[in-house]
Amino acid sequence: MGPTTSGAPHPGIDEGHSAFASSFRSTSSLAEWAVAQDIADCSGPEDADAPPVSDTEHVMYRRPSGVAYGTLRPIHNRLSEDEPAMTPLERKQSRQAEASLLRDNHVLPPKPHTTEQGILSRLYRKVVPSSSKPAPIDDDDDDDDDGYTETAPARSAGHEAPGEASPLLDSSSSDASRVDEQWEDAVQAGLIRTTWQREMKTLLSYCAPLIITFSFQYSINVAGIFAVGRLGTVELGAISLANLSQSITFLAPAQGLATSLDTLCAQAYGSGHRQLVGLQCQRMACFLLLCCIPVALLWLFAAEAILLRLVPESEIALLSAMYLKVMVFAIPGTILFECGKRFTQAQGLFKATTYVLLFAAPFNILLTYIFVFQLGYGFVGAPMAIAVTDNLLPLLLFTYIYFVDGRQCWGGFSKRALTNWWVMIRLALPGMIMVEAEWFAFEILTLLASRFGANYLAAQSAITTLGSIAFQLPFPMSIAVSTRVANLMGAGLVDAAKVTARVAFVIHFILGIANWVLFTGFRFQLGQLFSNDPAVIAIVAAVLPIPAILQFFDSICTGAHGLLRGIGRQAIGGPANLIAHYCISLPLGIALAFGLDWKLQGLWAGITVGLAAVGIVEYAYLVKSDWQLAAGEAAARNAAG
Q: Are 605 and 592 in contact (CB under 8 A)?
A: yes
How confident is the model at residue 94, as a pLDDT? 63
Measuring CA to CA, which residue among 65, 217, 220, 163 is closest to residue 401? 163
Q: Give the contacts of 63 (CB within 8 A, at least 6 positions apart).
A: 79, 83, 86, 90, 482, 483, 486, 565
pLDDT at 263 over 50: yes
Highest mean pLDDT among 153-167, 185-199, 270-284: 270-284
Count CB atoms within 10 A of the CB of residue 254: 21
**Cβ neighbours for 128, distance < 8 A, ≥ 6 positions apart:** none
pLDDT at position 618 over 60: yes
Instruction: Give the other-Cβ count within 10 Å of 586's Cβ.
Output: 20
With beta carbons less than 8 A apart as the criterion, state whether 265 and 277 touch: yes
Residue 2: predicted pLDDT: 38
Distances (CA, A) of 354 to 124, 205, 310: 29, 16, 39
Task: Write the DSSP symbol of residue 202.
Answer: H
* Predicted local confidence at residue 271, as pLDDT: 72
Task: Read off the pLDDT of residues 130-176 as tens digits, 9 standing for 90 and up.
Answer: 444 444 434 444 444 443 333 333 333 334 444 434 443 344 556 66
Q: What residue type is 189 in one-letter code?
A: A
Sorted by sequence, the CB contacts under 8 Å of residue 24 that are 6+ apart come out as 3, 5, 35, 53, 84, 158, 267, 270, 271, 272
CA 447 vs. chain centroid, Å, equals: 27
Q: Of 73-77, 196-200, 514-518, 631-635, which has the strongest mean pLDDT? A: 514-518
Q: Is pLDDT of 54 > 70?
A: no
Q: pLDDT at residue 594 above 80?
A: yes
Mean pLDDT of the chain: 78
Whole-angstrom distance, CA of residue 267 vs CA of residue 425: 16
% of the chain with per-residue pLDDT over 90: 48
Note whether 56 and 291 are within 8 A (CB): no
307-314: long-range pairs with CB below 8 Å, 24+? 307/241, 307/245, 310/447, 310/450, 311/241, 311/450, 312/450, 312/451, 312/453, 313/234, 313/237, 313/450, 313/453, 313/454, 313/457
Model confidence at 316, pLDDT cuts 50, 70, 90, reads very high
Strands (E), 5-120: none
Residue 440 has a pLDDT of 85
Maximum distance among all Cα pairs of the chain, rounded to whole angstroms: 76
Q: pLDDT per residue over 524-569, tens digit each?
A: 999 999 999 999 999 999 999 999 999 999 999 999 989 998 888 8
State phi, psi for 146 to the nearest 5 degrees.
-105, 25
Please state the domain extents for the chain.
209-419, 431-640
Write out pLDDT tens, residues 75-133. Answer: 333 333 333 345 555 566 566 666 677 666 666 677 665 544 555 555 555 555 544 44
Most confident of 91-105, 202-216, 605-619: 605-619
